[in-house]
């Protein structure tokens, strides 16, 4: 792993968990055989190897016996040989189908783990999430590329580091294209605070030649620990998991508007501090999107529905024309994957107009990121 004192992002390349080791800056730790004979048996059954072997043996052996019975004119038992040979052929075809599916689902996927380690929230926990993401990616992808930065606690410095992390993630996408030219999908697994995920997504953007699926940590049964939550590309979705309302903030600047996502059903515990922060920062209009429950259904339909509905509601909100050309703010809760995808979809074209507010647990208040530039 990289040293915590090292500030800039870099790329580390892994092989899959069952073969190849770790290459790149961190050196060669081998992936090794973690499944033993039981894992090998499961793999043989799931990837079609066993079906091809058994089907080939049946189709070939019984087919030969059926042919011999025809040559010698022995009709007794011939149809059993024919039926067995046909069953073996069907099993052989099914085995090749399983191989093709396994190739599409595993061998042609590339994983990218992007981590911003937040010392203020505990480096040990950040390490745990980072390692968990790497292990998941290595178990599901042919190649995994990891990149990380350690945050300083200084918003100005951390803005630069997160932008560098996004640039290095883009380099990882280019590297993945060279390493696995047959791959059609990239699994992006972010581990970082919510507000930085939005800024990271704004820097990364959503127009990429490969399909990029953003993964989220699973909160339910935890197995597997991540699931494909949403995509960076625009996706048609008729799902509407949220309710929307627009408010005018008394005394606020009509050219400033904010988007607030209560995805954990906190209600006034979430919206009251948001409104107070809007008043403090002279934000004139507030669009609040609420989830009915405290936990979103952990599937791509729901998470993509949240992203697409938030984008649509923001674009269609009844805001004055001044707000459409002014400055924006966003208050986030819930999933890192949703925050990242929203940043890519809403702020990529002009990130300089956006301010992300993060909740400071020490002061129990929202703090802007990046910090506003001093007025002259």
Q: Chunk the chain into consecutive blocks of 10 residues (it has 376) and report each block's average pLDDT, rounded to whole numbers.
A: 53 68 40 43 59 71 68 69 75 72 60 90 84 92 91 90 94 84 84 95 86 89 86 87 95 95 93 96 96 90 96 94 93 95 94 92 87 58
For residues 111 and 348, what is the distance between their CA atoms, to the nearest angstrom? 22
Nearest to 342, CA basis, from 376, 371, 306, 307: 307
SS3 157: helix
Sheet with 22-24, strands from edge to edge, namely: 22-24, 12-14, 143-150, 109-117, 185-191, 211-217, 226-231
Please report which helix (H) or strand (E) contains residue 229, including its range.
Answer: strand 226-231
C-beta separation of 253 from 216 below 8 A: no
Residue 198 DSSP symbol: H
The reported pLDDT for the residue numbered 22 is: 44
Cα angle vertex 218, ends 213, 221, to 5°? 140
> Six-digit token pair at 307?
């992203």
The reported pLDDT for the residue numbered 23 is: 46
Nearest to 136, CA basis, from 240, 250, 218, 50: 218
Contacts of 236 (CB under 8 A, 6+ apart): 308
Q: What is the pTM of this model?
A: 0.75
Residue 299 DSSP symbol: S
Alpha-carbon separation of residue 286 from 202, 259, 364 (angstroms): 21, 6, 20
- Helix, strand, coil percentages, rounded to 5, for the chain: 45, 25, 30
């Amino acid at each position: 792993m990289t040293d915590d004192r090292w500030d800039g992002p870099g790329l580390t390349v892994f092989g899959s968990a069952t073969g190849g080791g770790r290459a790149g800056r961190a050196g060669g730790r081998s992936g090794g055989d973690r499944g033993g004979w039981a894992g090998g048996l499961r793999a043989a059954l799931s990837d079609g190897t066993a079906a091809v072997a058994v089907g080939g043996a049946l189709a070939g052996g019984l087919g030969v016996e059926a042919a011999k019975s025809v040559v010698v004119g022995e009709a007794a038992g011939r149809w059993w040989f024919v039926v067995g040979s046909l069953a073996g052929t069907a099993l052989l075809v099914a085995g090749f189908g399983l191989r093709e599916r396994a190739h599409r689902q595993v061998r042609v996927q590339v994983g990218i783990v992007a981590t911003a380690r937040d010392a203020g929230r505990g480096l040990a926990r950040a390490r745990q999430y980072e390692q968990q993401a790497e292990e998941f990616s290595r178990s599901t992808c042919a190649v995994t590329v990891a990149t990380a930065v350690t945050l300083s606690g200084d918003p100005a410095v951390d803005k630069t580091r997160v932008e560098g992390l996004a640039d290095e993630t883009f380099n990882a996408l280019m590297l993945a294209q060279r390493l696995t030219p047959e791959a059609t999908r990239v699994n992006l697994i972010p581990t970082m605070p919510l507000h930085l995920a939005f800024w990271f997504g704004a820097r990364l953007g959503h127009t990429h030649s490969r399909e990029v699926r953003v993964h989220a940590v699973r909160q339910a049964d935890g197995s597997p620990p991540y699931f494909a939550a949403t995509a960076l590309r625009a996706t048609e979705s008729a799902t509407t998991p949220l309710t929307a309302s627009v408010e005018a903030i008394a005394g606020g600047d009509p050219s400033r508007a904010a988007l607030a996502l209560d995805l954990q059903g906190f209600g006034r515990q979430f919206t009251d501090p948001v409104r107070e922060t809007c008043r403090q920062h002279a934000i004139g209009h507030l669009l609040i999107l609420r989830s009915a429950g405290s936990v979103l259904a952990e599937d791509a339909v729901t998470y993509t529905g949240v992203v697409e509905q938030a984008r649509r509601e923001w674009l269609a909100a009844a805001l004055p024309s001044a707000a459409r050309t002014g400055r924006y703010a966003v208050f986030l809760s819930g999933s890192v994957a949703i925050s990242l995808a929203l940043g890519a979809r809403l702020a990529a074209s002009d990130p300089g107009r956006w301010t992300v507010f993060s909740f400071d647990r020490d002061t129990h208040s929202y703090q802007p990121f990046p910090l506003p530039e001093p007025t002259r």
